[in-house]
Chain A
Amino acid sequence: MNWLAGFFGDAAHWSGPDGIPVRLLEHLEFSAAAFLVAALIAVPLGMLIGHTGRGALLVVVAANAARALPTLGLLVLVVLLAGVGTVLPVLIPLIVLAVPPILVNTYEGVRGVDADLRDAAYGMGLRGRQVLFRTLTPVALPLILLGLRLAAIQVVSTATVAAFVGLGGLGRFIIDGLATKTYADVVGGAVLVAALALAVQFAFVLLDRAVVSPGVRQVR
């Protein structure tokens, strides 16, 4: 607790290029960029695979690989290969690790839609695209959002570790604190990241409330 008071009570931590506001903004920037790219890749791909049933193996492989691949190792290797000091390469592992949860859940969501419902949709005269967007997507939405949420958390988490390879953001407090044995900074940084992760979690709860049809939410 003393450490926390020391960290948050220190005015120097609230301004300047390595103050909390700047670090938080950086963290958000990297995370948002990686998250968006991952979502743009994984949501359409997951929907396509779920709808057509082709490429399901890719999903299984991605799901397992994402769990087994060590974040830190991937970060270190990619940045070394691409050359230290550039920001863009750091985003690659962030994106790579965010894709699988979105892909898997979008795929499961679309594929898991009741066969009768698909049948009814086609039987009413909906075209393939209409079936996908007007029936499968709204019904799969809770799972798609779950995937996006897991990915967002994953990105925030990986971005923290990425401070080790030179990325800015809140992870800096932890990594630099560890290097200089300033444990107040380590714990303070950890609390900030935890708060950010919980805020992301909460934002998705709100998003879920706003966009998922009550008819679908109740079924689950």
Chain B
Amino acid sequence: MITFEDVTKRYRDGTVAVDELSLEVPNGAITVFVGPSGCGKTTSLRMINRMIDATSGRITLDGQDVREIDPPTLRRGIGYVIQQAGLFPHRKIVDNVATVPYLLGWNKKKARARAMELLDLVGLDPGLADRYPFQLSGGQQQRVGVARALAADPPVLLMDEPFSAVDPIVRASLQDELLRLQSELRKTIVFVTHDIDEAVKLGDTVAVMRVGGRLAQMAGPATLLTEPADDFVREFLGRDRGIRRLSFISAKEVRLRPAPSDLVTDEDGRPLGWRTAEGLAAHGTFNPETDSLRAALDAALLSANGTAVAVDEEGRVRGVAGRDAIDELLAEYAPPAAGPAPGASRGGTSEGAPT
């Protein structure tokens, strides 16, 4: 566990980047620091691996004050991913990934074998191993950055706006990849971003920071969306909080009824559309096992007749849910008046993520 105890960073010119920050980063989960520029989120992150030293207060890593650890030694035990990947241009991809193993004195063969393993883990073609960074796309470089950070299997991973410099489609796939990796690896990850959607998508816990380096609110993403602590957090979260919150409610409990006869399917039982006088009309599908209530609602809205089609992993029809069935769940989990958030689990929250 990483703890911040009254941590302050004041620069020589008097600017306070981080002001009396106290929080706990739980093990094996993703904690996101999010806020507008100048809120001290990156400074806070960089104080963990001592790229910056705090002016006062204490940061501990599993109970030990990081100030007591020699910085290079500390850093070799913490993965670090930055925005532009920061790959070494003069070294091949495989050697970039093996940087920390080499530093730790592993022999070359073992380090390279480990690097190849990691390339595979982050979804990169092993054929890229002997390329140089300039030969890779931005998204690929960022994957190499993640692989490099994981090379020595550090329990902690610090990620400083790692996906900000790539286009939205690549960013979404990198985010999904990170969630997939995390479900396997269960690292303690501190992730810095200015993008609240990214924070809500990735974070088990989200720490919203405000300019001047103060913590505004720290909570799970669902709680954050339902119960913003103040106007600043509310404004920062932006519009559509209600709809976005549905992403954190599983569609498992949506009451399904058997598919009516006007739902046309192919021979394998995959839906093709609704039969109408004019021909086939549009339909929307969701998978109750893996999707959220938001996806179910979306499927209903996409269907010509307002009825969402539930499918299994193979895409075969399992049943249908009308808006009434979805409304029942909405009434239960997201009542009109803002009440306490139910214990929405994070299971199946990542829409569209391969799980």
Contacts and interface: CB of A to CB of B under 8 A. Distances in A.
Interface string A189-218: 000000000000000000000000111101
A116 B86 contact: yes
Nearest to B102: A134
Contact of B88 (A119, A121, A123, A218): A121
Contacts of A177: none
Contact of A124 (B75, B83, B90): B75
For chain B, the bracket of interface size reads 20 to 34
A125 B88 contact: no
A219 interface: yes
Nearest to A130: B103
Given A213-B132, A215-B132, A119 B82 contact: yes
B11 interface: no
A214 B135 CA distance: 11
B110 interface: no
A218 B74 CA distance: 34
A84 interface: no
A125 B103 contact: yes
Nearest to B74: A125
A215 B90 contact: yes
Nearest to B158: A123
B82 A123 contact: yes
B89 A125 contact: no
Contacts of B82: 116, 119-120, 123
Contacts of B85: 116, 120
Interface string A104-135: 00000000001011011111111100100001
A120 to B, nearest CB: 3
A186 interface: no
B76 interface: yes
A121 B75 CA distance: 10
A125 B51 contact: no
Interface in B80-103: 80, 82-92, 99-100, 103
A218 B132 contact: yes
B134 interface: yes
Contacts of B49: 123
B37 interface: no
A214 B90 CA distance: 7
For chain A, the bracket of interface size reads 20 to 34
Contact of A215 (B80, B134, B158): B134
A214 B89 CA distance: 9
A125 B72 contact: yes
B290 to A, nearest CB: 35
Contacts of B73: 125
B100 A124 contact: yes
Contacts of B100: 124-125
Interface string B106-149: 00000000000000000000000000111100000000000010
B88 A117 contact: yes
A127 B83 CA distance: 22
A123 B75 contact: yes
B72 A127 contact: yes
B105 to A, nearest CB: 12
B91 A120 contact: no
Contacts of B75: 122-125
A125 B135 CA distance: 26
Contacts of A218: 132, 134-135
Contacts of A124: 75-76, 80, 99-100, 103, 148
Nearest to B131: A215
A118 to B, nearest CB: 8
B4 to A, nearest CB: 19
B42 to A, nearest CB: 11
Given A116-B82, A125-B74, A127-B72, A216 B103 contact: no
A139 interface: yes
A219 B134 contact: yes
A215 B87 CA distance: 11
Interface string B19-54: 000000000000000000000000000000101000
A116 B83 contact: yes
Contacts of A122: 51, 71, 75
A5 B72 CA distance: 66
B92 A119 contact: no
Contacts of B86: 114, 116-117, 119-121, 123
A130 B80 CA distance: 17
Interface in A17-49: none
A119 B51 CA distance: 8
Contacts of A121: 86, 88
Given A121-B86, A215-B89, 10 more contacts: A114-B84, A119-B86, A120-B86, A123-B80, A123-B86, A130-B103, A213-B132, A215-B133, A218-B134, A218-B135
Counting from the closest, the 3 A-B pairs by CB-CB distance are A120-B86, A215-B132, A125-B76
Interface of B: 49, 51, 71-77, 80, 82-92, 99-100, 103, 132-135, 148, 158
Interface of A: 114, 116-117, 119-127, 130, 135, 138-139, 141, 213-216, 218-219
